[in-house]
Amino acid sequence: MKRLILSLSALAAVIIASAQVKAPRAEWRFNAKNTAHYIEKGHYHAAVGQGEIEFVGKKATAVAAGRKAANPAADNAQKGDYWLATMPTEGLKAGSVVDIWFPFLVEPSDAPQDFALEYLDGKQWKPVFAANKKGVNCHSTTSDKWPRFAWQSVRLDNQPADGKVQVRLRQCSKGPLKVSLYGTTHDAPKMLALDERIPSDTTRVLFIGNSYTYHNLYPLILKEMAWYEGHYLDCNIYIHGGYTMKQHLANHVSRETVERGGYDYAFLQDQSLHALRIGTSADMDVVGYMGKMKEQVEKHSPKAKCFIELTWGRRDGNNATKGKKLASLVEGYPQFFTSYKAMQDVLTANTTAMAQKLGMGLSPVGHAWEIIRRERPDIDLYSRDGSHPSYAGSYLSAAVAYLTLFGEPFKADMPARLNPETARYLRNVAERVVLKGEKL
């Protein structure tokens, strides 16, 4: 069988030195340069952990996919072909849990295509999700732009053979299909080994958001954090860069995610500057569309509690605020963009008022962000663009979300790609904000 191989490299030495990850982890990251290398050489070097992905198929050809030709793909894939992800797991015990994040796209996309997402346990391939009699347990979306985010944890009954965990996405529909892995630096496939503990409860959580949610994928950090605190989060998610609640309501994949139902909680993250519009001449019915999303969640999950995410202001207030979509806001209300403080004050006031009006909870990341900027300016919560979160910023979002869900102080340290003292400080500030109500 022809094999199209993507290999993972270790982190750069400087990143390894600062990492505090104890559990085996593998994260693939896609860009056009490396995908071109994959097509030419059959190898794809990623950034985090060790392992590889390979496509196993009789007639498949390695190609690039996506708007920026950034995603590795297999063209002419046939029934029975599969992507195979392998992660070395030295010392992983039987009974350990592995969290699997595996987004993918398929063409043609006029109808859902059948797949089996499976993991190797001993010598037996087992379904990651419950499967039908044919082994099918997941389907592609009917879109060539919006992926299926397959996300689930599995418990290994056996110690991994040969010291490695293997996961495969096997095609069950007849070909030919073009099957591409999906993701940016932040939301490409990932595998993370946890430990063998038995959580005390299971909580189903929905995330609907955009790039503030998918940068560093804070929901994955939250799931890992909850695990080490003794809770299991069974999560579902739909994320798309720059999306508003209006756009999520119009997107059929986002709607399908909501309509699966059975959620206990939902975190709703609107476009990061949308709350600034509320009550202005540039208002786009921000409150109304958030209310409609709340109604949809509650229609399919009647017991769910919805939280609005109170996000943070840009580092200097005016970062990345150009573009036609923002012109009416920026030109009409320049005072919102003069500084971080000016922007944060409006975001905080408007988001808080919206949550109260709609009878929704608040995940107050912005309050914690503001305290840390004042107390510890040495901790950079931003990525280079001064808008999106750094890993520390995403870790803070996860800590606030955890406390919002469970209302209990942290009891355990989790493996984190942060200095342990920094991680403890971020969790402490989250406790001060969520449990004690501290604000600036």
Q: pLDDT band for position 396 (50/70/90)? A: very high
| pLDDT given at position 157 | 97
pLDDT digits (tens, 9 = 90+) for 136-190: 999 999 999 999 999 999 999 999 988 899 999 999 999 999 999 998 878 999 9
Confidence of residue 8 (pLDDT cuts 50, 70, 90): very low
Region 68-88: mean pLDDT is 95
User: Which residues is 421 bridged to in the sheet?
Assistant: none
Angstrom distances, CA of residue 76 to CA of 9, 69, 102, 125, 378: 28, 17, 20, 24, 51
Q: In the predicted model, what is the mean pLDDT of residues 106-111?
A: 96
Give the relative orientation of helices 286-300 and 252-259 as an angle to the nearest 10 degrees. 40
Task: Kindly report, as residue ranges, where domains of CATH 3.40.50.1110 are found in the chain.
Answer: 197-434
CB of 316 within 8 A of CB of 304?
Answer: no
Architecture of domain 2-192: Sandwich (2.60)
pLDDT at 241: 92
Does the pLDDT of residue 21 top 50, yes or no?
A: no
Return the higher-pLDDT residue of 236 and 13: 236
Supply the mean pLDDT for the chain. 92
With cut-offs at 50, 70 and 90, classify the pLDDT of residue 20: very low
Of 274, 287, 278, nearest to 325 by C-alpha is 274
d(CA 248, CA 194): 32
Instruction: State the span(s) of the chain assigned CATH 2.60.120.260.
Output: 2-192
Looking up tokens 């109170």 gives: 310
Which helix (H) or strand (E) element contains residue 120? strand 114-121
pLDDT-derived band at 16, boundaries 50, 70, 90: very low
Fold classification of 197-434 (topology level) = Rossmann fold (3.40.50)
Q: Is 130 exposed, middle or buried (0-12, 13-18, 19+ CB in 10 A)?
A: exposed
Q: What integer is the mean pLDDT of 31-41?
A: 85
Q: What pLDDT, on the 0 to 100 scale, is given for residue 320?
A: 56
Element (H, E) at 341: helix 340-358
Strand partners, 83: 55, 169
